[in-house]
Amino acid sequence: MSDAKNDHMVEVQNLKMYFPINRGLLKRHVGDIKAVDDISFFIKNKETLGLVGESGCGKTTTGRCILRLYKPTSGTISFSGTDISHMRDKALKPLRRNMGAIFQDPYSSLNPRQTAGSIISDPLKIHNMASKKEMDEMISELFKMVGLDPRMTDRVPHEFSGGQRQRIGIARALACQPSLVICDEPISALDVSIQAQIINLLEELQEGLGLTYLFIAHDLAVVQHISDRVAVMYLGRIMELTSSEELYENPLHPYTQALLSAIPLPDPKAEKIRQRIVLKGEVPSPANPPPGCHFHPRCELATSDCNVEIPPLRDIGGGHYVACLRV
């Protein structure tokens, strides 16, 4: 997948991430968990790409591959024009300054023994970005940036609420002034009242700092609000990718249509008459995915071709990509 413009911060081509299954005393290799199975997409500078799908579809694994926390099985990942897919850790270190990560659970992603100031200063120390005096000023500035009182830097995580802890996580992600931030379900562990505050903060930071986001989530309403474009994943593959507005107004893949039909509507009358699409069966195991289109065992439109041919993710016009033989 490509675009005429050369403003792509991230380019992923034919990415696969398989985790080996080993059994017995000799740890024989008996198969693979195909967490990410041949996906391609790009993220433009200063845009937000939403990545949605059910739990276990490979969203988080995709984000971790881009951060190179995992070494991909095959395929290429380009960051700002540099292929990082098989780069060694030493060569990666300067590039990693330009990447940040906000994790899902603010309760387990912060070290309970460190103070908030120490947590935020860790990236600065690792990359030798500031002296002791400069570091205190930078930590204070980061606290203000995410809406926290700089006088709270000496407190430990259990002295903060869930929303405040996630703000500390955001400040840590921004410490090295990255250009790309991977947001791995950053609001799913928070109260609904706090979720809106965090989403607004992320949007303000993006506008003020010129950030690029990969926003991983399973809440389609949130993704619609924050994303410029949305990619829908199912069992390790991208089923549909287009602009946020187009996806919600004109979903073409049967899986996307089923996901969108599950979003509750604020109008009780419209909710009552709406047709809900209930998928049959269960999500197959990524250790033994079905042949052909991964979605065909649960699809109402499936024909005999669907269980043989792997549908390519093709552009049907206007940058609307769909992986379905029936569209």
Residue-wise pLDDT tens digits, 214-254: 999 988 888 988 999 999 999 999 999 999 999 999 999 99
For residues 79 and 195, state if they share a domain: yes
Beta partners for 214? 49, 182
For residues 165 and 185, state if they share a domain: no
Nearest partner of 227 among 194, 199, 264, 195, judged by Cα: 199
Cβ neighbours around 299 below 10 Å, total:
19
**pTM, rounded to two decimals:** 0.91
Residue-wise pLDDT tens digits, 133-177: 889 899 999 999 999 999 999 999 999 999 999 999 999 999 999
- The domain boundary residue, chosen from 127, 157, 175: 175
CA distance 126 to 3: 36
Residues of the chain above pLDDT 90, percent: 71
Reported confidence tier of residue 3, pLDDT bands at 50, 70, 90: low
pLDDT of residue 37: 93
246: in domain: yes
Per-residue tokens: 35 = 């967490």
For residues 57 and 169, state if they share a domain: no
Structurally, the chain folds into a number of domains equal to 2
Q: What is the DSSP string of 219-242?
A: -HHHHHHH-SEEEEEETTEEEEEE
For residues 152 and 293, state if they share a domain: no
pLDDT of residue 44: 95
pLDDT of residue 65: 96
Assign residue 44 the CATH number of its domain. Answer: 3.40.50.300
pLDDT of residue 172: 95
For residues 138 and 191, state if they share a domain: no
Q: What is the DSSP string of 194-225?
A: HHHHHHHHHHHHHHHHT-EEEEEES-HHHHHH
106: in domain: no
CA distance from start to end of the chain: 18
Nearest partner of 319 among 243, 239, 250, judged by Cα: 243
- The domain boundary residue, chosen from 175, 200, 220: 175
80: in domain: yes
Residue 2 has pLDDT above 70, yes or no: no
- The domain boundary residue, chosen from 127, 143, 175: 175
For residues 250 and 170, state if they share a domain: no
Reported confidence tier of residue 130, pLDDT bands at 50, 70, 90: confident
pLDDT of residue 271: 67
2: in domain: no
108: in domain: no
Mean pLDDT across 171-195 = 92
Residue-wise pLDDT tens digits, 24-82: 888 899 999 999 999 999 999 999 999 999 888 999 999 999 999 999 999 999 999 99
For residues 229 and 287, state if they share a domain: yes
Residue-wise pLDDT tens digits, 310-325: 999 999 988 999 999 9
For residues 194 and 302, state if they share a domain: yes
For residues 187 and 170, state if they share a domain: no
160: in domain: yes
Nearest partner of 219 among 228, 230, 203, judged by Cα: 230
Q: Which residue has the higher pLDDT, 129 or 201?
A: 201
For residues 280 and 182, state if they share a domain: yes
Locate the DSSP E strands across 25-144. Answer: 28-44, 48-52, 74-79, 82-83, 99-102
Residue 168 belongs to domain spanning? 113-175
Q: What is the DSSP string of 290-325?
A: PSSSTTGGG-TT--GGGGTSPPP-EE-STT-EE--T
213 phi, psi to nearest 5 deg: -115, 140
For residues 23 and 158, state if they share a domain: no
For residues 28 and 148, state if they share a domain: no
Residue-wise pLDDT tens digits, 94-103: 999 999 999 9
103: in domain: no
22: in domain: yes
